[in-house]
Structure formats: C-alpha cells, structure tokens
Structure 1
Amino acid sequence: MEVDIEVKADALEGAFDAVLAAEAVDELKASVSALKAQLDAQAVAAGRLPLDGAKAADPARDAFVERYLRRGIDAGVEMKSLSGASAAEGGYAVPREIDGSIASTLKSLSPIRRIATVVQTGTSGYRKLVATGATEAGWVGETAARPETDTRSFAEIAPPSGELYANPAASQAMLDDAMFDVEAWLADEIGREFAVAEGTAFVGGNGTNRPKGFLSYTATNEADAVRDFGELQYIASGAAGAFAASNPQDKLVDLVHSLRAPYRQGACWVMNSDTLARIRKFKTSDGAFIWQPGLVEGQAASLLGYPVVEAEDMPALAADSLSIAFGNFRAGYLVADRGETRILRDPFSNKPFVHFYATKRVGGAIIDSNAIKLMKFAAS
C-alpha cells in the first residue's frame, strides 16, 4: 500500500514539474516576443522619415552651419580654393540641403528661370549644338535617280555667363542665439538677392560677364523662313508706345499665331504688371474680357488661353519698346548653372556684423529663336 502511495506521489510531483516547466517556457517565449517587438519598433523608428520641421542628421551640414557659419571654425568644411596662397579665398562649398533651398527660392522668385530650360554644368565653357533649317526629301519614280538632298546645318550655342554674388550680413549676437535659424535665413537672403539679379539679366542682360537676355538679341519683322538664326521676330502693336486705338486685342491674336503650332504647346506670355493691367481691360465685341483669372488658387491666369508670367524686368510701354513676349521658353531659352553656391565668411570688414559673401556662376542664352516672339509698340 505504501508503495502505491509513493508511486502516485512521484507521478503527481512530476506533473507539477511539467506544468512549471511549461509556464517557464511560455514566459520565456513572451519575453522573447516582447523583445522582438521592441527591436522591430526601434528599427521602424530608425527608418522613418523625420517629423515635419525636423532635420535628419547630416555631419556636413552640421559642420557647415554650427561650426563655420556661427563660429567661423572651418575645420571639417569642404573648401573650394581658387588660390594657393589663401586656402579659403574661393569660399566654402554649401551643403546640398542649403543649396537646394537656395535653388527653390530662385525658381519661385525668378520668373524666367521658372519657365526656361535649366542645366547643371561642370565647366564655364558649356556648349550646345542646335540644328537649324529642315531636312529635305523628294519624290522619285521606281527606277529614277536619287539626287542628293540637303542636310541640316548646326549652330553652336555658348551661353555667356558671369559670377553672381550676394553679400548678406548678420550680427554676431544673432549668430550666437541658438534660436536663430541661420541656415534658413541665409538660404532665403541669398536666394532673393540672386533672383533679383537673375531676373534682370535673363530679360535684358548684355552678355558681358552675365547672361544674355532674350531682349538683347536683334529683333526683326521677318518670318521664320527668311529670318537669320538668332534673331527674334516681332509683331507691331499698331501705334507708337501704345496699343492700336481700335480692336487692340487683334494684335495679340496675331502674336499668338506668329508662333508655329508645335511651339504653342507649353507657350506663355511674359510682361510686367503695368502692361498686364492694360490688357486686362480689353474686351471682345460681345463684352467678354479676353483675360481670364485662374479657377483655383495657385493656377496662373490666362490670356487667349495661355498662362501669363509677370516679370517686372520687362520694359514699360514706350515708343518702339519690346514690352510683351510670347513663346515656349523651355524650348527657346537656356539657363546654365555651373557648380554649387560658395560662401566666404567675413567677420572683419564691418564689425560687429558678419558678412556672408556668396557666389555662383550662371549663364543664359537663346537656343531657338523661333520659339519666342515679341510685340513691338510701334506703328509698323
């Protein structure tokens, strides 16, 4: 009888041990699952994009902003030297994040850059080959001779360029203030100053140490088929320094259709706000305005179905002025940016202010003179 009791007791004790072991295994599995979930959460958090307003860690940007811009410590900052005697004479390369902010400001504030073709170049000697004329073909019989046809000729475009510079200043007290966002301030200041200078050059620059503006090219009333390459065609407004007294909108229609159909896809108007104010008052014979506002916020207004770009650098109405441009600027005008923006910190010239001398090489030129048309405010 005692043997039976001992056997039963041993079996019961073994059952308890098995239950405890199973519970231990379950607890271990739960701990492992919790640890795995925690590691997965950390991995997701590490791969997640920064919250709005937060900046991902970038050693190059941090060294540039916190060390060089704020305190003038140039260790660890990429140099762009132009002189062997002074390592920093060429300034310091702006990190891509700040350079991208400057480029965004330029695109939003410089109207011609926004509608033209923009290329990044690694040399100031940028060249582009443009085909001129048209290929010819012919009809022949089955056994007739095939005379040689003319081939297209090419013109080389070398956009004139110059060094664009800006020189904003901040006090050292502002730079010492940790709450002062020197990165955003500098990108905005440089971008705005660059945009103002660019806007003037892309419209009327003479090509000497700066881009050549599209209004600096020879303008003639000859059509595309007979006009020399590099010359722009103009349509006369019908009156010196003004629109024609009757049906002034007719000349705008003539200007639109002087541009060949392939170019009209993507074409736009360019004029200053004073000229646009005059055109907005034009009406058709049934009393409808030819100017139409954008239907949604941010959409450009349209004139005869084409968007209007306001460029204050376009000349005001005067005798023989070229105050309105219409064309496909993406096909007709090229902006060439060479390299990144460079900055040289100058705390000595105007104490207690610190100047940031920023430079960038920019070029510009017409690449297709058939893609842009002008209105000349003259009788003929």
Structure 2
Amino acid sequence: MPLFDRILIVDWSGAGQPVTGKNSLWACLARREGDGHAMEWIENFPTRHAFMQRLDAVVGATVAEGERLLCGFDFAFGYPAGTAERLTGSEDWRALWRKIADEIEDAPDNRNNRFDLASRWNARHFPGEPRFWGRPHQHVYADLSDKKPPASTNAPLAFRRSEQFAKGAKSVWQLTYNGSVGSQTLLGIARLSRFLDDSGHGEHIVVWPFETGFATTFEKPVVFAEIYPSLFTLAAQDEVKDQAQVRTVAEAFARFDADGRLAALLDRPPMLSDEEVATALAEEGWVLGIGHRELDVAGDDTPLWPAGLLPHKGGERISVAAEIPLAVPGKRKTPGAQSSAVAAVPDAAARHTPLSPLVGEMSRSDRGGYSP
C-alpha cells in the first residue's frame, strides 16, 4: 500500500531578490488518484515567502482531509558532524536549526543577511579556520573570503557522510558560484524551522531521518525530507531545467510509492555503520535515496543508482517509464493554487526517465548558484 497521498517536490532558491525562471524556486505537487498519481500543479514562485504560503495551504489541506504528504526539499538538512556543538554547544540538529532561524533575516522580497551571518560565524565560531566561503565579488565582508579556505583537519569537515556518495555534490560551506548549496541551506533551514515552530502545523510534521530514524512508517501525516535531484536524469524537454527536475522527481517518487520502492529508499542505507547512523540521526541527516544501489521490488529490476556509484558509459543504463495519469475527472485542487500558474505537463506515460546520469554527466549546478 502506498505510504503517501501527496508528494511535494521543491527546488529551493537562495536568491536575494524576486526572481522567476532559471535558478529560481520551483515546486510540483503530485497526488494519488486510484492506482496512479496525477500532477496537481507545477509552479514557479518568485520568492521564498510566496512558496511558504503555499506550503502552509498544502500541509493544512493534507491534515484536514486525513491524508499523508511527503515534502522533498533540495537543500541540505544538516551540516558536517561537529557543527551543531560548535555553534550551539549541543550535538543536536534541532538546536542548530533554531540557531540558524534566530539569526537569518529573510524578507518577503528575498532580501537576506546570509553573507553577513556567515562572516560573523566564521569570526565567532571558527576563528583562524573559517568554514563558510564564497561571496559576491562586488561586496566585501571582514571574515568571508571569495576563495576556498584550506581544508581543516578538525571537525567540522567539508562534507557530510551522505555527500561522499553524491558525485559532484558541493560543500554546505560554499555560499555562491556554480553548483553551490550553502546559501540555499541557510535560508531553507531557517524557513522550515520557523514553519515547524510557528505555523501551527508542527505537531503533524516529522523531519526524516532526524525524528523518525530510517523508518518506513510514520505516526504523523507529513514528512519533510532532503532530496538530491541529480540522482535522476532529465529527459529532453522544452522547459526550464528546474521545472523539469521537480516534475521528474515527483513522478519517480510517485511511481516508487505505488510499487513499494519508496519504503525501501526510506530504510537504513546498508553501508552505514551504527556510529554513522547515530551521526546522521543526531546532526548530519541523510539524502533520500542515496545508498540504495539497487532495488528489486514487485518484480521490477529498475535500480536507483546513488550518484557516487553511477553506471559507466557503454554499460547498463536503466530507465523507468512514468505511468502517471494527467486528466482526472473531478480532481480536487489544493487551496491557494493559482490555475493560471499551473504548468502543462507532457504525456507522462510516453516519457521514459533514466534514474541517474552516467559517470561524468552529473550536473554541477543542480542546486543553483548565487542570485544577487
């Protein structure tokens, strides 16, 4: 039986002003209809504030209708081990989330203080060994360089354990330039932390795997999880790449949920030691799907390849047909959805979506770079 009635996939943005199109915030909501899923909407949000209003509506409708929702966000949910203790005095992901939320300023028009904050934290928490780096060349910050600092041999290190399995992944300490995810992480964690504390929906939400362990069943109806869209290769489409990513991932997770594979992706990655699991659950988090090299479920041998274990050119390359109906009579709309902003989705049943790029084809900018 499927775990979720709705799947919301979000391509986050670290933009400093309202922006649409390439390298902006896109989201896609898929909804279970009978034995399949339908795309309810794909939308481009000019600001993080606008998206959070929609998230409030989607979560509220899910809870009110007694349904279950998976929300996948493409920014890091954690920092390398040792960060939380250095910044908060406690090895606790939630303490770090609240610390970030307390100090990040993110206005409704996307203006924010992420570079100022990174500079202050380098001086206060990492004196002599800065971690955060990357800034707009036209701005100068006392303790934030535009150059990558020497790698530290002391915790926290540059990468989390999960990122060691994601070829092409960037460090959360890098705030700008192509492929960076540091700005998105600071701004995304701040927004989700405030949502958990202030929206009135917090009692209905769990954050995977911090609050759930590597579980496949959940007591609460809404699950937030970190995703990495570059696990999925995009079929050639005449659309913005970010739009294609949210659609592709939503379709794939909907299919996996229908045939039982999504539960396997939520399970404990087999290569992790007990100590590594403890670190992931306490502070670093994990990326949904990484570590499950091959899933043989329901008679279908379609594997999900983690980015660090990609098939090579000339070798096997598996694809999955997206079997998601589009036109559903009487389909309900999520409160707050704008019909004028709903994107037309091509015939999903005719589209084959490879699950991962080949080695050497990993996107270097899947999470977006700096937007002033």
Normalised to the residue count of structure 1, the TM-score between the two structures is 0.23
Normalised to the residue count of structure 2, the TM-score between the two structures is 0.24
Q: Work out which structure has the larger RCO, using CA pairs closer than 8 Å and 6 or more positions apart in sequence.
A: 2
Q: Which has the higher strand share?
A: 1
Larger radius of gyration: 1
